[in-house]
Amino acid sequence: MIKFLKAFGQFWYDFIIGDDWKIAVSVILALAATLGLYKAGVPEPAVTVIGGVLVLIAFVIALVIDIRPRSKKG
């Protein structure tokens, strides 16, 4: 049973986090903000659009962090 639980946990970690934890965290934060807007009573069509934009922005920011050139300390 322990072996099964460990394998199950490793699968979900790899599925959600994958190779880049920054993208996973930023998308989860964007989805949490979208849920907050929904719970605050913002109309559903607006929440949908804002949520989509937030997820896109979060992904782009995480991607920019990964591809920016590293500073060389000399």
The pLDDT tens digits of the residues spanning 3-50 come to 999 999 999 888 877 777 888 888 888 889 999 999 999 999 999 999
In a domain, 59, yes or no: yes
Asked if residue 55 is part of any domain, the answer here is yes
**pLDDT value at residue 24:** 81
Q: What is the pLDDT of residue 73?
A: 64
pLDDT (mean) for 51-72? 84
Structural domain count, the chain: 1
6 occurs within a structural domain = no
- Domain limits for position 38: 19-74
> What residues contact 18, with CB distance under 8 A and at least 6 apart?
24
Determine, yes or no, domain membership for 10.
Answer: no
Query: Is 3 inside any structural domain?
Result: no
Q: Is 52 a domain residue?
A: yes
